Structure 1
Amino acid sequence: MGTLRTALHRGAAIALLLPVIIGMAGCGTGDGAAAGEAVYGQPLADQFQAATEATRGAGTAAFTSTLTYGTASADAVHEVAGSQDYARGTSRADVGLSAGRRFPEDALEFLRKSAPDGRQTVATAGDDVYVRHGGAAWLKYKPEAVNRLGEATGVIAAHAAGDAAPYSGTLADLVPRVIPREKPERREDGSRVYRVTALPEVAAELLPRDLQRLPDGWGTEPVRLTVRLDPDGRLASATADLAPVLKRLHEQGVLDGVTTLRAAYELTAFGEPLKDGTPGKGGEPVEDAGEALAPVTTVEDGRCGTTGDTGLGSEAIMRPVDCAVRHDLRVLAQVEVDQVLPGNQPVGNGDAYAEEECRRADAAAPEGWRRGGRYADGFRFQGESSVSVSVTMGGKAGTGGMETVVTGSYTCFLTAA
């Protein structure tokens, strides 16, 4: 079975800013009872589907989505705050990860795989996703670029506009896939509160891509959701207690220090006019990610690159740059692992063999690469490997034996000090 090793980044907490919503147009649709009839007049099992249509019918909305990892000492919050234009199929939002001072550092390093360093803004327009890191130009991830650059782009591609909302990867995607079974609580203002459950594998789609795949699945324990629809039947908020999902992560040895995991989503400012936020339409510089970036596995030995503005939180994809300018990493070598071991050996992956190959490449690298303290001590590597066991025929009796075959492709690199 193949394995993929992905490097982690250090990052800082960042401020999240709601995009400015232009105008003072009202967001109501008339008498609450009449407006909500298109949703609340439907059979109970159909009300969430109708609510999704009513929400889209508002035209625009501001939204906030959070995924909160709780510990006994502090929380870490992955937050998205922005606006959506349902008619255009566009969105723009600020994205970031913030953590309390006492949040466990090892867990925070793991979470930073999907939250790159510094301020990041994400915009969507149909199937295209744009990322701007700090003051850099926008990077446009078209479907063609995603296919070319590979799996590491999933953390960005997952937010492309979907059926429920122009910004995907939130509880808005889950609500229409859940069927309410019990009548909701009706509030004095005419809003309704539903308490429902979702399948754990569906709820796990709220997690960063790095956490979504488990070898043995997500089990069967349901995830509890609370969904509130406003008097007009539009989605106003939703929360989910992801305890069953966290339990399965713990069983895989992931996020051991995290004791609670909750998701939340809120919509406000329905119908208020928005400027077209598609990057490039206002003269902002836009680069094609498929042309500007390259998988680190395809970069020649000795080349340098930056990773901080890719929006991916990974060293799997880099922007090649001249080694004379500021950069994050330098490729030592592309190496192959091809080992045949006697018998059925308990080998999980080819990392140990890759490390040895990288050690040789580091020792053989030009001395000038290390001069001046430009790079941190040692090297890092990442790649994919597979392990298989085969039966060999041989011997006078033809009884044969077993062999464990380890193969893989890895990239060895130096990182900036």
Structure 2
Amino acid sequence: MTRRALHRATALAVAALLLTACTGNGGGPAPTSAPPVKHPVFGEKLDRQVFLALRRTQKTGGNARFTQTLTLESKKGTAVQTVSGRLDFTRGAGEASIRWQVPEAYPEDVKDLLLGRAPGRGQGDASARLYVDGQHLTFRAGSSDYWLRYAPSDPDVSRAPGALDHLRGTEGPVGGTLLEGLGGTEAVSVSGGAAGRTYRAEMTSTASSALLPDDVEGELAGEDLGFGLYREKKPYPVTVTVDDHGMITHARADLSRLLGKKGSLLRDVTALRMELTLSRIGSSGPATTPQGTVLPAATTVKPLWGVGPGRCVDFTTGQQDIEIVAEIPCSRTHDGRVLAQPVFGGRAYPGAAAAENQARDACARAYDRAPGRWTEEADEPGTHWFMWADERTWRQDGRGKAACYVVTPKGAARS
């Protein structure tokens, strides 16, 4: 073999070895496989997985339908609030229907706490609808044919805790759902696998504070230590179910540890639970917008004292404050018509009984002098109602005052 032929044979052998190494044939090293993809929720520490599932539901889910129930059990029956609708995380908007079922056997003060009270009518509406976005909360009582649009900049006309405030969510467009508490919830155990997991978890009492209206929460607060401080209660047991994508589909919390406050209106309640279901995540469609007449709350919602004689009002504004009304045109269906606003001058507060008697006498005279077309609207012929200032209002205004009105049949609409 010549020297040139030897060099050629050697080169071919080296090339064959290189080709074998490149193709993996001939017992060469196996190719390196890609590392497994880490699950965005299940691959993290257990105590963080509920929080991460909440964030994934918000950012990846886009939108969802939801149903939540709040259940109060007692020997006098079970009261249930059902809230259902859509959450549009992408647009920061939501819509919901709210309905209460409260047993007749419940005490009147508990019914007032849950439903509010309308003067001359008893409990407030058991149903309502609402739309929420980043700028407004638009509310419609079950008995109303219009919407009230509240903006964050609207003046706070009510002295009562805001019954609507908790419906502006931070973790979800519609507030008051269990989503508001899951950011402060830690998993302690888990069952299931890659197809989905169910966690047994604990929600801190601080996280639970955004789940209920302020007035209801006030009846459930922890032990008062003075100076505006409360003893924090033990965490509340929660179960949370997450699908294979790491998004929340169900949550249930037992809030019964909130019960037991001495002197509470809810002293007879023995169990308090919340349950939330999310469905059609990513495919429920966006939240819609209110249809029909929408009135600005800034100019429509006001204290009864601020409504002039002959004007008409509705008593259900969503704020559950008996002094706060919606002033509406008398051509619309309305709950009442104001007859007069007597003022008693700058005298010192005479006491509750004397203030009531002054208002009664002044409103009796106002009823006798009022135009017949106002008084004939009364639900009960010959009957009128009145409201008088308590000590706080009297001292704040520097004078006594009353509001005289008739309650009209629902559906009355007269000019």
TM (norm. structure 2) is 0.71
- Conserved 8 A contact 1:225-1:238: no
* Deviation of the 1:374 alpha carbon: 1.4
1:127 aligns with 2:135: yes
Which of 238, 250, 256 is the equivalent residue of 1:243?
A: 256
Partner of 2:360: 359
1:248-259 counterparts in 2 under 5 A?
Answer: 248=261, 251-259=262-270
Alignment-mate amino acid for residue 147 of structure 2:
W
SS, match of residue 191 in structure 1 = strand
In structure 1, what is the Cα distance between the partners aligned to 2:331 and 2:365?
21
* Deviation of the 1:186 alpha carbon: 3.4
Which of 350, 372, 378 is the equivalent residue of 1:374?
A: 378
Partner of 2:30: none
- Conserved 8 A contact 1:335-1:354: no
In structure 2, what is the Cα distance between the partners aligned to 1:262 and 1:410?
43
**Residue deviations 1:125-167 (CA, integer Å, cap 9, x gap):** 113111233472332111123x2544558222321242x1111
Partner of 2:318: 311
Alignment-mate amino acid for residue 38 of structure 1:
P
In structure 1, what is the Cα distance between the partners aligned to 2:211 and 2:375?
45
In structure 1, what is the Cα distance between the partners aligned to 2:200 and 2:399?
50
1:183 aligns with 2:194: no
Which of 179, 183, 187 is the equivalent residue of 1:172?
A: 179
Instruction: Rate the CA distance shift 1:143–1:414 in 2: closer, same or farther, 3 A.
Output: same
Calculate the aligned-residue CA RMSD, in Å.
Answer: 3.7
In structure 2, what is the Cα distance between the partners aligned to 1:302 and 1:415?
10
SS, match of residue 144 in structure 1 = coil
Partner of 2:94: 91
Which of 152, 175, 192 is the equivalent residue of 2:198?
A: 192
- Conserved 8 A contact 1:35-1:233: no
Alignment-mate amino acid for residue 184 of structure 1:
V
Instruction: Rate the CA distance shift 1:44–1:142 in 2: closer, same or farther, 3 A.
Output: same
Instruction: Rate the CA distance shift 1:360–1:322 in 2: closer, same or farther, 3 A.
Output: farther
Range with greater deviation from structure 2 (325-334 or 234-243): 325-334
In structure 1, what is the Cα distance between the partners aligned to 2:259 and 2:384?
34
The structure, 1 or 2, with the larger RCO (C-alpha pairs under 8 Å, 6+ apart) is 1
SS, match of residue 179 in structure 1 = strand
- Conserved 8 A contact 1:129-1:142: yes
1:234 aligns with 2:255: no
Instruction: Rate the CA distance shift 1:149–1:157 in 2: closer, same or farther, 3 A.
Output: same
Q: Unpaired runs of 5+ in structure 2?
A: 1-35, 118-122, 409-415
In structure 1, what is the Cα distance between the partners aligned to 2:276 and 2:399?
41
- Conserved 8 A contact 1:223-1:242: no
When Rg is computed on C-alpha atoms for both structures, the one with the higher figure is 2
Which of 43, 50, 53 is the equivalent residue of 1:51?
A: 53
- Conserved 8 A contact 1:76-1:108: no
Which of 226, 229, 233 is the equivalent residue of 1:221?
A: 233
In structure 2, what is the Cα distance between the partners aligned to 1:409 and 1:205?
37
Partner of 1:206: 211
In structure 1, what is the Cα distance between the partners aligned to 2:237 and 2:104?
29
Question: How many positions carry a matched residue from both structures?
Answer: 350
In structure 1, what is the Cα distance between the partners aligned to 2:302 and 2:61?
40
Instruction: Rate the CA distance shift 1:105–1:305 in 2: closer, same or farther, 3 A.
Output: same
Instruction: Rate the CA distance shift 1:255–1:177 in 2: closer, same or farther, 3 A.
Output: same
Partner of 1:61: 64
In structure 2, what is the Cα distance between the partners aligned to 1:266 and 1:408?
52
Instruction: Rate the CA distance shift 1:234–1:80 in 2: closer, same or farther, 3 A.
Output: same
* Deviation of the 1:361 alpha carbon: 2.5
Alignment-mate amino acid for residue 46 of structure 2:
L
Partner of 1:399: none
Partner of 1:277: 288
Partner of 2:32: none
Which of 107, 130, 136 is the equivalent residue of 2:145?
A: 136
- Conserved 8 A contact 2:388-2:403: yes
Partner of 1:155: 163
Instruction: Rate the CA distance shift 1:363–1:285 in 2: closer, same or farther, 3 A.
Output: closer
In structure 2, what is the Cα distance between the partners aligned to 1:96 and 1:50?
31
In structure 2, what is the Cα distance between the partners aligned to 1:372 and 1:52?
57
* Deviation of the 1:112 alpha carbon: 0.9
TM (norm. structure 1) is 0.71
- Conserved 8 A contact 2:112-2:124: no
**Residue deviations 1:246-305 (CA, integer Å, cap 9, x gap):** 212xx133123333222222211111141441336xxx4432222333232322355431
Range with greater deviation from structure 2 (88-97 or 284-293): 284-293
- Conserved 8 A contact 1:152-1:317: no
Alignment-mate amino acid for residue 54 of structure 2:
T
In structure 1, what is the Cα distance between the partners aligned to 2:343 and 2:217?
29
Instruction: Rate the CA distance shift 1:191–1:363 in 2: closer, same or farther, 3 A.
Output: same
In structure 1, what is the Cα distance between the partners aligned to 2:43 and 2:133?
33
- Conserved 8 A contact 1:333-1:358: no
Identity %: 24
* Deviation of the 1:91 alpha carbon: 0.8
Instruction: Rate the CA distance shift 1:296–1:247 in 2: closer, same or farther, 3 A.
Output: same
SS, match of residue 305 in structure 2 = helix
In structure 2, what is the Cα distance between the partners aligned to 1:406 and 1:148?
17
1:266 aligns with 2:277: yes
In structure 2, what is the Cα distance between the partners aligned to 1:153 and 1:253?
16
Instruction: Rate the CA distance shift 1:116–1:124 in 2: closer, same or farther, 3 A.
Output: farther
Partner of 2:75: 72
